[in-house]
Structure 1
Amino acid sequence: MHEVAKQLDLNPNRFPIFAALLGNHILPDEDLASFHWSLLGPEHPLASLKVRAHQLVLPPCDVVIKAVADYVRNIQDTTDLDAIAKDVFQHSQSRTDDKVTRFKRAVAYYSATNKPMPFHPPHYLGKFTIFIGGEGGSLLFLLADLLLCFWTYPKHFIFYVLLQAEGSSSASSGSQAADVKGNQTSNPQIPCLLSMPTRNHMDITTPPLPPVAPEVLRVAEHRHKKGLMYPYIFHVLTKGEIKIAVSIEDEANKDLPPAALLYRPVRQYVYGVLFSLAESRKKTERLAFRKNRLPPEFSPVIIKEWAAYKGKSPQTPELVEALAFREWTCPNLKKLWLGKAVEDKNRRMRAFLACMRSDTPAMLNPTNVPTHLMVLCCVLRYMVQWPGVRILRRQELDAFLAQALSPKLYEPDQLQELKIENLDPRGIQLSALFMSGVDMALFANDACGQPIPWEHCCPWMYFDGKLFQTKLIKASREKVPLIDLCDGQAEQAAKVEKMRQSILEGLNFSRQNHPLPFPPPPAMPFYPASMYPRHFGPVPPPQGRGRGFAGVQPIPSQGGKLEIAGTVVGHWAGSRRGRGGRGPFPLQVVSVGGPARG
């Protein structure tokens, strides 16, 4: 390491502080961005790159290394870590105490690993020798030292040292290489650091994350360690990033969007729930109103999403903004997770349904949508609402519902004996999209405080790929009626009808807009106060939705249903053309009472 110290003009005793201030797995680059830019100063030629839209650009590695080395060299007392941290994070706008703690941990980490290794595996020693320097080929590192160096310090630091050593004199090819090439000498040049391709995500950082209540973090950490929560929730809360799983997708199929894009709006709402976006902004607006001031501009909450799909490299993250619900103010995460009142339970369910764009009364009616099938119906309803080309056709929707209600789903032996001659390629992609949606629904459910118990979320309770293929082949290729799709069970067919009506409630497919990269969030209606007990009361009827009426109206021939306080208590049939509200006339709804909207 003496050559490293020589190139940097730095005492080896200061290496732990130097390595900690470069950025690492304990104290990431993003937390040191302000410090690195402050070392360069506003007059530096690169200062104009500091702010680019919502992204903060980090200085190049070689510039950072030189600046940090100069800073560490001039530290008066290297033992006073509190004073150093105070100076380093003087421009920090959030989580200063956490950054100071991480800085001390990083220094301790590098101080410990800077000591001689107690054991060197013999098969790693003496195999290679790296020569960098003049014609004499002065020895810089043995492989053991190089491995220790790579293990101990950030990689861009080591690359920088090697390049600096190379810059003083070019390396010779050596006698063996000269013999092989016919006595033709060559001077291989290591490319300049700035000319080498760099990972783009190293130059991208995001605005600071909003603070999260300590109680929430403790609960999140406990559930994360015990495996009781979606694995990326804790990572989103603490790191502000998430990795999207890869699914089976056909790049040649333009009808079906990538799963990462299809369910991105779900994740955006979940991010808003996790960081209590709606309530924090509402409090700020109220405070500004009381002080007779204009509401301030809110800095966006940006999450890094790592995903791979057609046209998108997995090497760089996408910056996705968190969204808040439009129609109501979701309570903060502490209330959602730790609240014990009945109203808190209702809010959890409403937040989950709003994330899945399924906040309708029918989804809360156990007669139409059994609790263990709610995740299934929410995902299917979300897929149906994708703007542009319709993802789910009528027969495909029926196939999903029929297999979920089939008794064979609970008979492993019968599923094992199922034989499918020709798999439907579209069915495979739909299955993959659906399971990606289930994954996002579980993400939303855990983020909203788990309103749906885990025993009702298990995918094997409502989906089997082989069984779905058999139903889809019957529905799409053989065009069998619904009763045959349900194996002749009239009761099962009636349940499929009810579930389909609940999924399609309030949706209009008369117009198909062009597909949007980020579909706008729909208006989220209010639903009954509780999922299980229904409360009745003389509350005025809803306004502005066009779904209910102020009083009882004449019953037209197309059929309809009766609602009391938002709960469906009766149905009546109509003519065939108006059945289910899919004919030229909408389904008549008579609503008596119900909670006020807003």
Structure 2
Amino acid sequence: MKLTKEQHIQSENYSVFNILSNGVIECSNSLEDDCDTEIPGQSLIYRPARQHIYSVLLESGKGGAYPLVKEWFVYFGNPLKQPELIQPVQPSVPGGTPDLKTLWLAKGPDVEKQRYSTFLACFHLQDEMEELQALEAPVAGFCCLLTYLMMQVSSLSLEDLNAFVALILCLKGKSAAQLAGLQLAEVDSRAVHLGAVLVRGLTTLLMANSACGFPFRMDDLMPWTVFDGKLFQEKYQQSHRGCSVEELLEGNESLYTPFQNLKSFICKVCMAKKRVIQSRPRGNGYNAGREQRDFNPRFQQPRRSHFVSPYHNQMRGFVQRNPQSQGGGSGQPDRRRFHLPPR
């Protein structure tokens, strides 16, 4: 606990101290589109990964039961009047999940392998370690997240995958000035939504990395290393318009093979999990369906008819939810703060 507190004070870990000391985690803001019924709330998408991370951090008690974790996570339909009690779920780590003393303090190549495999198991990728370790660290981390996302959200298409892969490959060769100078004729709301989902996932990567003893350098998983909103908008719109791979990769022939390899890897992993990624071009515009949420049934949450989003009438569409604290003696944390990844 002393080590965790020191890392927490120095912003060297993410969310671990609060989970270990109080059994509580919170996320007070979320950029989501209430009209897009095909993409679930970010909290729900990443909950299975968080459950594995909780299992890595918390010791099981008598009978193998873990203490429950209190989650204060904002998403549409959750009034945040009380925390959700989440059960940790042990990940499928080859040889079993190492204890924290091993993950955090032990040294040697075998321990490094355990850290990496435990991290991957949190995202159901423990069988893909050899291929992922062959990639540059930022690309490997991004690939872990993107593969997990493609497996969990069934509405994501081949065009979405192409846009994300083109983003990570093209981003490396661009300066800050080039990115700032990108001009877009229009902004697609679904691309904004997907970008926000991905960036939220990066915080889950950071938490898993902290819990597993840092198999990655934290800098390699930071949003500014692997994501740019305007560049993703460009790649998303190009992909959904049916542009060629050559255009997606800006004519850079050296990126063609990495593009095909990353895309093939993600499709292969998804196929093994019986998730077929299909083509679904959306052209220049997107109107989300309003009838039914199309995603993994395990994420389905009952809509609570008594709860109305504070922005329901004023701002349909994209809202940044930041509920005010209820105050009083309820023990509810102050959710007016914005939580950012440690620098």
TM-score range, shorter chain: 0.7 to 0.9
Partners in 2 of 1:455 and 1:308 — Cα distance? 27
TM-score (ref. length: structure 2): 0.76
Q: After superposition, what is the alpha-carbon deviation per residue over 1:431-469, rounded to whole angstroms, capped at 9, x for unaligned?
A: 000001111011001110000112322222221010010
| Partners of 2:71 and 2:189 in 1: CA distance | 28
Q: CA deviation at 1:517?
A: 2.7
Task: State how far apart, in whole Å, the 1-side matches of 2:234 and 2:276 are.
Answer: 30
Shift of 1:305: 0.1
Match in the other structure for 2:185: 421
| Structure 1 pair 446–514 and aligned structure 2 pair: CA distance change class (3 A) | closer
TM-score by length of structure 1 reads: 0.45
2:163 matches 1:379: no
1:64-79 paired onto structure 2 within 5 Å:
none
Render the CA deviation track for 1:189-241: whole Å, top value 9, x for unaligned: xxxxxxxxxxxxxxxxxxxxxxxxxxxx11101111122111x2111001001
SS in 2 for 1:243: strand
1:469 corresponds in structure 2 to: 233
1:491 to 251, 254, 257: 254
How is 1:152-167 mapped onto 2 (pairs within 5 angstroms)? none
Deviation at 1:411, TM superposition (A): 1.0
Q: AA paired with 1:458?
A: M
Which gives a bigger RCO, structure 1 or 2 (Cα 8 Å, sep 6+)? 2
Q: Secondary structure at the match of 1:313?
A: coil
1:514 positional shift: 6.7
TM-superposed CA distance for 1:267, in Å, is: 0.7
Based on CA coordinates, which of the two structures has the bigger radius of gyration?
A: 1
Q: Number of matched residues?
A: 281
- Name the SS of the counterpart of 1:506 in structure 2: helix
Work out whether residues 25 and 69 of structure 2, in 8 Å CA contact, stay in contact via their aligned partners in 1: yes
Pair 1:316-2:82 in alignment = yes
1:228 match: 12
How many angstroms apart in 1 are the aligned matches of 2:171 and 2:146? Answer: 20
Identity fraction in percent:
29
Instruction: Spell out the pairing of 1:172-251 with structure 2 (5 A cutoff).
Output: 217-230=1-14, 232-251=15-34
Task: Label 1:350 to 1:276 Cα distance change in 2 as closer, same or farther (>3 A).
Answer: farther
Residues 1:333 and 2:116 are matched in the alignment: no
1:259 aligned residue = 42
Q: Aligned pair 1:348/2:111, yes or no? A: no
Instruction: Give the drift of 1:491.
Output: 1.6
| Structure 2 residue 172 is the aligned partner of structure 1 residue 405 | no
Distance 1:325 1:457 in 2: 21
Match of 1:182 in 2: none
Task: Please list every run of at least 4 consecutive aligned residues from structure 1 whose deviation after the TM superposition is greater than 6 angstroms.
Answer: 511-514
- Matches of 2:97 and 2:64 in 1, distance apart? 17
Rounded to whole Å, the distance in 1 between the matches of 2:7 and 2:211 is 12
2:203 aligned residue (425, 439, 444):
439
Change (3 A) 1:430 1:504: same
Task: Check if 1:451 corresponds to 2:215.
Answer: yes
Describe the SS at the equivalent of 2:32: coil
Per the alignment, residue 243 of structure 2 pairs with 480
Q: Give the drift of 1:408.
A: 6.8
RMSD, aligned α-carbons: 2.2
Assess if the C-alpha contact under 8 Å between 2:267 and 2:277 holds in 1. Answer: no
Deviation string for 1:57-76 (max 9, x for gaps)?
Answer: xxxxxxxxxxxxxxxxxxxx
Report the AA paired with residue 229 of structure 1.
Answer: N
The amino acid that maps onto 1:253 is D
Quote how far apart the aligned CAs of 1:245 are: 4.1
CA apart distance, 1:473: 0.8
Letter in 2 for 1:250: D
List runs of 5+ in structure 1 lacking aligned partners: 1-216, 281-295, 520-598
2:259 and 2:7 mapped to 1: Cα distance? 36
Residue 178 (structure 2) pairs with residue 395 (structure 1): no
What SS does structure 1 have at the residue aligned with 2:126? coil
User: Aligned to 1:517, what secondary structure does the other structure show?
Assistant: helix
| Residue 507 of structure 1: how far off its partner (Å) | 2.2
The whole-number CA distance in structure 1 between the counterparts of 2:217 and 2:101 is 19
Query: 1: distance between equivalents of 2:262 and 2:159?
Result: 14
1:22-62, CA deviations, whole angstroms, 9 ceiling, x for partnerless residues?
A: xxxxxxxxxxxxxxxxxxxxxxxxxxxxxxxxxxxxxxxxx
Letter in 1 for 2:71: E
Q: What secondary structure, in the 3-state scheme, does the structure 1 residue paired with 2:269 have?
A: coil
CA distance in 2, matches of 1:436, 1:298: 31
CA contact (8 A) 1:409 1:463 kept: no
Secondary structure class of the residue paired with 2:3: helix
Uncovered stretches (5+) of structure 2, i.e. residues with no partner: 279-293, 301-343
Instruction: Name whichever of 339-348 and 427-436 sits farther off.
Output: 339-348
- Structure 1 distance, partners of 2:56, 2:178, is 42
Note the C-alpha offset of 1:243.
Answer: 0.3
User: Are 2:140 and 1:359 aligned?
Assistant: no
SS at match of 1:376: helix
Who is 1:304 aligned against? 70
1:517 and 1:365 mapped to 2: Cα distance?
A: 27
CA deviation vs aligned residue, 1:156-201 (integer Å, no higher than 9, x gap): xxxxxxxxxxxxxxxxxxxxxxxxxxxxxxxxxxxxxxxxxxxxxx
